Amino acid sequence: MSQVIARAATGDVPEVRTERGERAVFCGLTSIIWLHRRIQDAFFLVVGSRTCAHLLQSAAGVMIFAEPRFATAILGERDLAGMADCHEELDRVVAELLARRPDIRRLFLVGSCPSEVIKLDLANAAARLQGVHDNRLRISAFSGSGIETTFTQGEDQCLASMVPDLPELEAGNQRLMVVGTLADIVEEQFRRHFAQLGIDHVDFFPAARADDLPPVGPGTRLLLAQPFVSDTVQALCKRGAKVIPSLYPLGVQGTLAWFQAAAAEWGMDAESVSAALAIPVARAQKAVARVRENLKDKTIHFLPDSQLEIPLARFLRDECGMSLTEVATPYLDQALMTPELLQLGADVRLVEGSDLDSALARVRASRPDLTVCGMGIANPLEAEGLRTKWSIELIFTPVQGFDQVADLAGLFARPLARERQLEVGSWS
């Protein structure tokens, strides 16, 4: 932590270069894959095209382990030409769905590019359907359209759509709300650590059950588990909540700083937190040291994709000894990223937005040991002899917290190890 404080004191942050142009990022519908796993009694009804249905099926196909809780209501040519009443059709599909699935406690109507192009008002449709099915479940709408959202922004839109349903926190109470989807196993670990620190009033948003809606009000303190929840945070702040500025819980330093920031709100100093969490910290440091050997002195380049790029770059440089050739992120919310930017320091090349051709030209010029990018870009780069890591894997894998730190480092070490094996294989 001393390093964090030292940089914060100097106020050095990287200069941001902004690019606008072509991008190659999955749309917000992709977030349904991890959101439907997390909120175990929610159903996601996409109002879209066959392309949207194919995206979801191919992304989720290999991961489904139970009855699907998402589907696509496909807009036909008559709908797109304005010749059919889409709202009537939607009401019928929803009534059939809810009759068949009494277990569903939250229905999300999810907008797509086609529904956006024909200006189908899903927020109004959700309000109308809520009136019809009032006591049975909650219904809200959000956009996963590729015109408006990248894949992690889909989660932000989903969570923001739930904020109006959150109950009011009683005046005089103080509660901590952890915002952003986490794997169940990570939530369990975090709850244990919060209990060790004496912080008992903790809610996770979203929770595993749709009806577990955390209360919000002026006594709510927001601790962000994910950096891509800007709209959700804005909606929560409008209801009186306040953000606790912190690093994100990636890596040992990030996770410790995250707990220290939360505990400070409950009157606990940083040294007491370090003492209370000394065992998991030491275990995590030992675990990451083993993987560090495979990463140190390697160069890494982040193309803009997941919005996790900045905290990941900080972890890989400060704890794994990697060098950063460039860190690019599709969207930078300075307010939610200030502690990370201070920790990153001024000497990092930071890009916000995307212009695919110029970004790829810089990768080709610097030829880093590893490039973190979207799936569509990875194969062409691999064909040019560059090693890549799909950034979407970082969303699907539990990577936050002390106990996951070696797994997180391992995700970046594996492509490099594979390259070494290929080199050995080609000589033998």
Size of the site for ligand SF4 (CB under 6 A): 12
- Indicate the residue among 77 and 297 with the shorter CB distance to ligand SF4: 77
> In the structure encoding, which two tokens stand for residue 333, read together?
């919310």
Q: Does 47 bind ligand SF4 (CB under 6 A)?
A: no
* Integer Cα distance of 409 and 300 in angstroms: 13
Q: Does 169 bind ligand SF4 (CB under 6 A)?
A: no
Checking phi first, is residue 56 left (phi over 0); if not, alpha (psi -120 to 50) or beta? alpha
Range in contact with ligand SF4 (rule: CB under 6 A) among 43-51, 210-218, 227-235, 403-411? 43-51
**Amino acid sitting at position 293:** E
Q: Does 52 bind ligand SF4 (CB under 6 A)?
A: yes
Q: Which residue is nearest to ligand SF4 (CB)?
A: 146
- Indicate the residue among 48 and 206 with the shorter CB distance to ligand SF4: 48
Q: Does 145 bind ligand SF4 (CB under 6 A)?
A: yes
> In the structure encoding, which two tokens stand for residue 158, read together?
């989903």
Range in contact with ligand SF4 (rule: CB under 6 A) among 49-57, 133-141, 189-197, 227-235? 49-57
> Smallest gap, in angstroms, from Cβ of residue 114 to ligand SF4?
6
Range in contact with ligand SF4 (rule: CB under 6 A) among 139-147, 265-273, 350-358, 407-415? 139-147
| Binding to ligand SF4 in span 5-34, by CB under 6 A | 27, 29
- Indicate the residue among 5 and 117 with the shorter CB distance to ligand SF4: 117
Please report, for residues 41, 363, 378, the alpha-carbon distance to residue 357 in angstroms, rounded to integers and kept in the order given: 42, 10, 14
Range in contact with ligand SF4 (rule: CB under 6 A) among 138-146, 189-197, 253-261, 400-408? 138-146
> Smallest gap, in angstroms, from Cβ of residue 67 to ligand SF4?
22
Query: Which of 33, 55, 109, 210: binder of ligand SF4 (CB under 6 A)?
Result: 55
Range in contact with ligand SF4 (rule: CB under 6 A) among 51-59, 189-197, 226-234, 249-257? 51-59
Binding mask 221-260 for ligand SF4 (x = CB under 6 A): ----------------------------------------
Give the side-chain half-sphere CA count within 13 A for 249: 31
Query: Which of 59, 113, 377, 394: binder of ligand SF4 (CB under 6 A)?
Result: 113
> Smallest gap, in angstroms, from Cβ of residue 139 to ligand SF4?
20
Contact 288, 310 (CB under 8 A): no
> Smallest gap, in angstroms, from Cβ of residue 125 to ligand SF4?
17
Rounded to 5 degrees, φ, ψ at 243 are -85, 140
> Smallest gap, in angstroms, from Cβ of residue 149 to ligand SF4?
8
- Indicate the residue among 49 and 354 with the shorter CB distance to ligand SF4: 49
Beta strand 370-373 pairing with 388-390: parallel
**Residue position matching structure tokens 């294989």:** 425
Q: Does 112 bind ligand SF4 (CB under 6 A)?
A: yes
* Integer Cα distance of 283 and 253 in angstroms: 13
| Binding to ligand SF4 in span 258-297, by CB under 6 A | none
- Indicate the residue among 49 and 391 with the shorter CB distance to ligand SF4: 49
Q: Does 109 bind ligand SF4 (CB under 6 A)?
A: no
> Smallest gap, in angstroms, from Cβ of residue 193 to ligand SF4?
37
Q: Does 49 bind ligand SF4 (CB under 6 A)?
A: yes
- Indicate the residue among 56 and 126 with the shorter CB distance to ligand SF4: 56
* Integer Cα distance of 72 and 44 in angstroms: 8
> Smallest gap, in angstroms, from Cβ of residue 359 to ligand SF4?
20
> Smallest gap, in angstroms, from Cβ of residue 252 to ligand SF4?
37
Name the residues that contact ligand SF4, by CB under 6 A: 27, 29, 48-49, 51-52, 55, 112-113, 144-146
